[in-house]
Structure 1
Amino acid sequence: MTVTDAPLVDTHFHLYTTDMPITPWAWHHPPEDATAEQFIDIMDRHGIGFGVVAAASLYGQYNDYVIRSMRRHPRLRGTAFVRPETDMYTLERMKADGIVGIRLFFRRVPDPPDLASPEYRLLLRRVRDLDWHVHTLVSGDALPAVIDAVEGAGVKLVIDHFGKPDEALGVNCPGFKALLAAVERGRTWVKMSAGFRMPSRDAARGYAQALLRVSGGERLMWGSDWPFAAFEDKTTYAQAVANLRDWVPDAATRRLIGAETPMRLYFGA
């Protein structure tokens, strides 16, 4: 894929420095910094115009570095981890700084969110009022319940990494089937990202084909997952860009996925 044919928006990557406070339950300890300036340089070298920072679960509610990076670089937007009791004024300030949604993490955390609780129902209402979205990764049988709760709250939902289907079941995974149905209903978006985390290149291609059959490319987006946590030396940004052509051979559909949809969702363009 040439620079001129590259996606316009990378909708999933992480920014951090190794001296940031890390959570006690962190599943990975990054070996080196992944700074905003490093990523801006990578974007420019690969023809990427805009980026959406995915809040990294390793750092919990420490959103400070991401927010300061967005203040320095208007090309960036991001999601944040917030406590359910976070007040409206704090959330509004975060929105002014470039935050476009909250990330909810249900894997590898000691206390996953209970979306039926009064605290989270209140947070979801505030997310709806802000015209934000919930950004999450839930695998296996847990995904249908999360979809139901977020949709029931009238909130937009963005799901990472093809929904990370159960490796043994693939496209027949109940969670993946629920994801496909949610995409058809029109308030759920899916990131075609982190193909290197899938069991094989064929598996990633199969998930992409299933999503394309259902959506025609609508409500799909692309992300690199840079700096490839736990896979830092096993893949490259160039490969992540090339994966989009592999998954989506049609150029017009790639433009929809790599530019038009994410610009509307994240940048209001």
Structure 2
Amino acid sequence: MKLTGANVLMDEPSGDFDAHVHVFERDLPFAPGRRYTPTNSATLPMLSDNLRTIGLDGALLVQPSFLGCDNSYMIEALEVGKNSDLTFRGVAVVSQDASEQELVDLAKAQVIGLRLNLIKRDQIERFNIEDWSNVLSVANTLGWHVELHCESHDILSILPALLDRCERIVIDHFGRPNQSAPLECPGFKYLVGNRSGQLFVKVSAPYRVFPSSPTSALHNKAAPLFSELLSALGPSRLMWGSDWPWTQHEHLGLSYEKTRAWYSSWVNETQNDDGAQLSRD
């Protein structure tokens, strides 16, 4: 079994893609008020080496929060990527006042989605979907998805209105449920209970869901979330992301191979569970 949500969003029927990576250089002008400043660079050649090492065919480049709405570095990377044997697409961050022409220009540069990064409390409090009406309308016309990054307890206050306006919504990092009882979070329950066909979820960055857990426990902690999402949404609306280069979590000493191994294990264990269930039945 292969998760093919990234294929659907990228309009790539074949291939295996990393659905969540960031590219940047440490000497770029960073956004004021950012919550993190990188000390190392994460360039397209470095990413490409990782992708080739494990036999992937490309990736979705997601604009990192610390670069704000200046997508120029990502656009340059996408332009370079056009000459690669790998396939890249972008997810941009724009302001609520972005013009139609700005979004059209981004689409021409291989951007296929926009990201609403609402992980901070003040971002949630300021967010008013009416202020985003024009941007969301243009994004929908362009066939873009809207990627939502927020804590699970904020999903219910944001997601229903987005679903009314947008054909495809992508939820970051398992939906960021509460680590103490993730399967019981109302926001997570909403994801697995939604039958609209519009929702996609990234199975990525379990350390952002379980920040108090040691790295060795992350695979087992996230496995039930993976199983629930797969059962509810199916492989065509799930996608794996490495979250490379693991911003704010560099201290964990992760490797690209390690993050891919989590995914492979979740898939294999789910298939084994299904087989065991069939044999019992």
Same fold (TM over 0.5): yes
Residue 50 of structure 1 corresponds to which residue in structure 2? 58
How many pairs were matched up? 245
Residue 224 of structure 1 is aligned with which of 219, 238, 242? 242
* TM-score normalised by structure 1 residue count: 0.85
Say whether the 8 Å CA contact 2:227–2:270 is kept in structure 1: no
CA distance in 2, matches of 1:150, 1:143: 10
* C-alpha displacement of 1:159: 0.7
- The secondary structure found in structure 2 opposite 1:48 is coil
Residue 129 of structure 1 is aligned with which of 132, 135, 141? 141
Structure 1 residues 250 and 127, CA gap change in structure 2 (3 angstroms): same
* C-alpha displacement of 1:23: 2.2
Counterpart amino acid of 1:249?
A: N
CA distance in 2, matches of 1:110, 1:196: 23
Residue 18 of structure 2 corresponds to which residue in structure 1? 10
Structure 1 residues 250 and 49, CA gap change in structure 2 (3 angstroms): farther
CA distance in 1, matches of 2:206, 2:129: 32
Report the aligned-residue RMSD. Answer: 2.0
* C-alpha displacement of 1:181: 2.3
Residue 114 of structure 1 corresponds to which residue in structure 2? 127
* C-alpha displacement of 1:98: 0.7
- The secondary structure found in structure 2 opposite 1:248 is helix
After superposition, give the CA deviation of every residue in 1:163-204 in whole Å (9 maximum; x if it has no partner).
Answer: 01011221110110111123x320010011112333233221
Task: Confirm whether residue 181 of structure 1 aligns to residue 193 of structure 2.
Answer: yes
Counterpart amino acid of 1:19?
A: D
Residue 214 of structure 1 is aligned with which of 232, 239, 251? 232
Q: What is the correspondence of 1:15-164 to structure 2 with a 5 Å cutoff?
A: 15-74=23-82, 75-108=87-120, 110-112=122-124, 114-117=127-130, 119-164=131-176
* TM-score normalised by structure 2 residue count: 0.82
Counterpart amino acid of 1:220?
A: L
Comparing 61-70 with 132-141, greater Cα deviation is found at 132-141
CA distance in 2, matches of 1:109, 1:214: 29
Structure 1 unaligned blocks of 5 or more: 1-6, 254-269
* C-alpha displacement of 1:99: 0.5
Say whether the 8 Å CA contact 1:84–1:120 is kept in structure 2: yes
After superposition, give the CA deviation of every residue in 1:21-64 in whole Å (9 maximum; x if it has no partner).
Answer: 22232222212000111111111122111110111111101110
Say whether the 8 Å CA contact 2:153–2:177 is kept in structure 1: no
CA distance in 1, matches of 2:40, 2:121: 23
* C-alpha displacement of 1:250: 7.0
- The secondary structure found in structure 2 opposite 1:104 is strand
Residue 182 of structure 2 corresponds to which residue in structure 1? 170
CA distance in 1, matches of 2:81, 2:177: 34
Residue 245 of structure 1 corresponds to which residue in structure 2? 264
Residue 190 of structure 1 corresponds to which residue in structure 2? 201
- The secondary structure found in structure 2 opposite 1:148 is helix
Comparing 193-202 with 95-104, greater Cα deviation is found at 193-202
Structure 1 residues 48 and 27, CA gap change in structure 2 (3 angstroms): same
